[in-house]
A = this chain, B = another copy of it.
Amino acid sequence: MRQSKLFGRTLREAPAEAQTPGHRLVLRAAIAKPLAAGLYTWLPLGFRVAKKVERIIRQEQNRIGAQEMEMPVLTPAEPWKQTGRWDALEPITFRTKDHNGREFMVSYTHEEFVHLHAMQETQSYKQMPQIVYHFQSKGRDEARPRAGLLRLREFVMKDAYSFDVDQAGLEKSYAAEHEAYARTFERMGLDAISVESDTGAMGGDIAHEFQVLTEVGEDRIAICSNCDYRANLEKATRYIEGGSARADGVPARSAIATPGTESIEALEASLGQPGDAFLKTLLFRDQSRKVVAVVLPGDRDVNEAKLRKALATGEVKFASDADFVEAGAVPGYIGPIGLKTRVLVDHGVGARPYIAGANKKDVHFRDVVLGRDFEGERVDASDVREGDLCPKCKVGRLTIKRGVEVGNIFAYGTYYSDKMNATFVAEDGTRRPFFGGSYGIGLERAVQTIIETHHDDKGIVWPPQVAPYHAHVIALPMNDEDVRTKAEALVAKLETSGVEVLYDDRDESAGVKFADADLIGIPLRVTVSKRNLKENAVELKLRTAAESEMVPHGSAVDRIAEIVASWPR
């Protein structure tokens, strides 16, 4: 490919809106460009990377026997309504109507539709286990598209769907996909760790995310210092040591005057007690507008995802003033005692006396004890934090890292087949529901995450297996006929040998050409210059190396082909 004709112009400076190093490089190196917030076009260089990433994903799916197919982007409303996701997904999806008023969704995922197909195509237990997958555009009406390709409103997902006869079969398929994912990310140069995750809009109980730890990530991951426990904070929990029964012999609760002291911070300051001496009580509304109080230690925050899961609701909001009145609570002085509403008590609340609001202006109680002064349903609805005990080994301490979720897998079992009456004929002749799982990788995000984790201050440093080209041949200067002739002959021979070449044939200075080569980040730079040719040499420089290597002009093709052949595919 002649760079003079490349559809894609490099930029010296990234536009001001670029938010992360990877986002800046995506724009500067002409990998992708936006058409609107969250809607990006792959330019030819980026397209080649995307196709290589796609190829790795495809090979690893095929290796475990998954079959490729393709479902449409526009999906009719009825199956979504059957599973309840038409309403549940409303805030995050795009919808359209045809001119007859029939409703469609720009597909969020395809569980409903692959179940419809499975009912037709997989009617017998003999045909299972079965995994199908496709690469297809997805729409997400993100309120805040972010950082270029990291959070888009349209992206291509590889989504795979497994169908098994029972839970044991599902677990095998799930394990096969888990392994395929680990290989897939490793092959594309991503150091992704598998992390327990919330199932969110997908249903079911078992789910993992593949997270690449990097500061640009939006997710927070708890990682045990001792064992292999790793979980998204939306799911992570902690071990709580059984304390001594300090609640025995606690005096009866008594009121304390706390005028103008409406927050935990203010209480800490005025009473000289640490945050965990208090109870924090928060009032929420769920999606069906039911009000619930959540009681947790004063130094802990509610984790919204965990609370949604505990309430089996799609959305929680803070309660209104009217809700406070109805619950018999006073803002700033709310406490669990005497509340006229459902009460959830976080598992962090221990058998000890707390200071809590009295539901009366300017008054708190001291010596409030769970089980004696108030009751509630025990839940885990609070954030874990650095230093918490690992829930698995009970010995290690948790650290919290930021991560980008590059893949997720869900074992939802009969969640969809029950709702859709999607069954097959089992070995005993009865009809049974499919046991399903789904498995997603976002293509654009994977590519940008590779850049986020493979760059230096000069530009991208592509892992060879996903680089847009293998070699970047630079002719200097282009107006020297000998240079041009030898460079073009080299390019032609390399291409014949299967080496993918970007050929910088532009009439630019060495400075501009080398800067662009570093920016675009092709693994091997090959310089054919007047100076080198005097020595009958060609200069090879790996993007990852500080030093270059001079090779005789006559053996350059063989040496380059040898280097390229040594790379992983």
**CB of A69 within 8 Å of the partner chain:** yes
The docked-state distance in angstroms from the alpha carbon of A4 to that of B116 is 20
CB distance from A304 to the nearest CB of B (A): 19
The docked-state distance in angstroms from the alpha carbon of A120 to that of B134 is 32
With A5-B127, A36-B76, A127-B5 known to touch, is A99 a contact of B44 (CB < 8 Å)?
no
Most B-side CB within 10 Å, residue of A73, A118, A132: A73
**CB of A72 within 8 Å of the partner chain:** yes
**CB of A399 within 8 Å of the partner chain:** no
Q: Is the interface of A mostly helix, strand, loop or mixed?
A: mixed
Stretch from A136-144, A382-390, A401-409, A429-437 contacting the other chain? A136-144
**Which of B33, B44, B71, B153 sits near A35, CB closer than 8 Å?**
B71
Copies of this chain present = 2
**CB of A39 within 8 Å of the partner chain:** yes
Most B-side CB within 10 Å, residue of A65, A120, A153: A120
24 contacts between A and B (CB under 8 A): A1-B67, A7-B121, A8-B121, A9-B122, A35-B72, A36-B75, A36-B76, A36-B104, A39-B72, A39-B76, A41-B69, A41-B72, A41-B117, A42-B70, A44-B68, A44-B132, A72-B154, A73-B73, A73-B139, A73-B154, A94-B96, A94-B97, A94-B98, A98-B141
Q: Point out the residues of chain B lying under 8 angstroms from A127, CB to CB.
A: 4-5, 7
Please tell me if the beta carbons of B43 and A121 are within 8 angstroms of each other in the complex.
Answer: yes
**CB of A6 within 8 Å of the partner chain:** yes
Q: Point out the residues of chain B lying under 8 angstroms from A73, CB to CB.
A: 73, 106, 137, 139, 154
Q: Point out the residues of chain B lying under 8 angstroms from A36, CB to CB.
A: 75-76, 104
Q: Point out the residues of chain B lying under 8 angstroms from A120, CB to CB.
A: 9, 33
CB distance from A110 to the nearest CB of B (A): 9
**CB of A95 within 8 Å of the partner chain:** yes
Q: Point out the residues of chain B lying under 8 angstroms from A41, CB to CB.
A: 69-72, 113, 117
Please tell me if the beta carbons of A67 and B6 are within 8 angstroms of each other in the complex.
Answer: yes
Contacts A9-B121, A35-B116, A94-B104 known; list 10 others, CB within 8 Å: A1-B67, A5-B67, A7-B117, A7-B130, A7-B132, A41-B113, A44-B132, A48-B68, A74-B153, A137-B137
Quick one: which of A373-421 are within 8 Å of B by CB? none
**CB of A343 within 8 Å of the partner chain:** no
Q: Which residues of A contact B (CB under 8 A)?
A: 1, 4-9, 30, 33, 35-36, 39-44, 47-48, 50, 65, 67-76, 91, 94-99, 104, 106, 113, 116-118, 120-123, 126-127, 130, 132, 134, 137, 139, 141, 143, 153-154
Q: Point out the residues of chain B lying under 8 angstroms from A97, CB to CB.
A: 94
Please tell me if the beta carbons of B96 and A67 are within 8 angstroms of each other in the complex.
Answer: no
CB distance from A118 to the nearest CB of B (A): 8
Rank and list the top 9 A-B pairs by shortest CB-CB distance, nearest first: A36-B76, A42-B70, A44-B67, A94-B96, A96-B96, A41-B71, A39-B72, A72-B154, A98-B141
Please tell me if the beta carbons of B99 and A74 are within 8 angstroms of each other in the complex.
Answer: no
**Which of B9, B68, B143 sits near A47, CB closer than 8 Å?**
B68
**Closest chain B residue, CB of each to CB of A74:** B154
